[in-house]
Amino acid sequence: MKRLVDELLISENAVLYPAPGGDVIQWYAGLQDELGLKPYVKFDKTHKYLSQASYSMGDDSLLFFIANTSLSKHISVNAEFLVEKKLRPWLWNPETGERSLYPTNGSNNRIRLELPRATSVLLIFGSDTEGKQFQPVDFNRPGKKLTGPWQLQLNHMNGEKKQMVLNTLSDLMENKQAKTFAGDMIYEKTIKLDSDKYQYIDLGDVQGISELTINGKHVGTKWYGAHIYDISKVLEIGENSLTIKLTTILGNYLKSLKDNPVAWEWTRRQDYYPMGILGPVSIL
């Protein structure tokens, strides 16, 4: 083994480089710069929750999967892709199959990425140049936080129903009336707007599946990633009724079933899970 390592070190295919002393990500970025290694995607700043994978599509197209794996951090980066500059970036929606041209930043291989918590994007660089333009959410635009009170209805899967008023949004796992709840939570609130400038609503930290309805119109459902909805077509100047239906997991309820040996065995080693809309809820 020593002989093989010695032979490798004297070859042109290996170099000696100092071991990382702390931040491995920054260490590897320095290694790339010093050795002239060109990454498939170069970000203007690194982040421990930012990751990417790239694939060749067989022709001249290249696919990039970029993810923010943090459950709480928003990541904003400029990205430069190692592709031919004649190719254009397309954003693909894996749920609908729709694709749209992603706006570039001075060159076809440079873009600005806004990645909310627990969000990923699928980008494909191809030769097509005509198509629908993607409009990213402007997270720097002035927003408005929606404060309490909130009307809350708890529809337990066992048939029980409760009504509550929340002056502030919080983790309902810490509320004695809701700690072992499982089922649907209905958050309701009326908001009054004097402007039609708002386009999105960000529900903040959401623990469960959310379904949004505004003024009686169903906007959509989110079961993963950031719970951000386009509300530009349903908001009205004046009063707007806001309803958020949140479906919880079963774990906290199963922990309360002490006489059910199967439920007890599956959950007794688990902590109680966060539950509900923790917010903050903002319109942008």
The pLDDT tens digits of the residues spanning 54-107 come to 998 877 789 999 999 998 889 999 999 999 889 999 999 988 889 999 999 889
Both structure tokens of 148: 């309490």
Q: What is the pLDDT of residue 105?
A: 87
Domain spanning 144-283 has what CATH number? 2.60.120.260
How far apart, in whole angstroms, are the C-alpha atoms of residue 178 and residue 159?
Answer: 14
Both structure tokens of 86: 């004649």
The β-bridge relationship of strands 50-56 and 62-68 is antiparallel
How far apart, in whole angstroms, are the C-alpha atoms of residue 235 and residue 223?
Answer: 23
Percent of the chain with pLDDT over 70: 100
Q: What is the pLDDT of residue 143?
A: 85
Which residues fall within 8 angstroms of residue 253, CB to CB, at 6 or more apart? Answer: 156, 157, 158, 180, 181, 182
Q: When comparing pLDDT for 57 and 201, which is higher?
A: 201
Assess whether pLDDT exceeds 90 at residue 38.
no
Band the pLDDT of 18: cuts 50, 70, 90: confident
Sorted by where each begins, the domain ranges of the chain are 1-37, 39-136, 144-283
DSSP string, 162-189: EEEEESS---GGGSTTTTT--EEEEEEE
Taking only the tens place, the pLDDT of each residue in 125-145 is: 998 888 899 988 887 777 899
Assess whether pLDDT exceeds 80 at residue 11.
no
Assess whether pLDDT exceeds 80 at residue 13.
no
Which CATH number fits the domain 39-136, given the four candidates 2.60.40.1180, 1.10.1520.10, 3.30.420.40, 1.10.530.10?
Answer: 2.60.40.1180
Band the pLDDT of 52: cuts 50, 70, 90: very high
Work out the average pLDDT over 24-45.
Answer: 84
Do 131 and 99 meet the contact criterion of CB atoms below 8 Å apart? yes
Assess whether pLDDT exceeds 90 at residue 19.
no
Q: What is the pLDDT of residue 45?
A: 86
Both structure tokens of 244: 């958020």
Average pLDDT of the chain, as a whole number: 90
Model's pTM, two decimal places?
0.80
Do the domains at 39-136 and 144-283 have one common CATH topology?
no
Assess whether pLDDT exceeds 90 at residue 280.
yes
Residue 214 carries which DSSP code? E
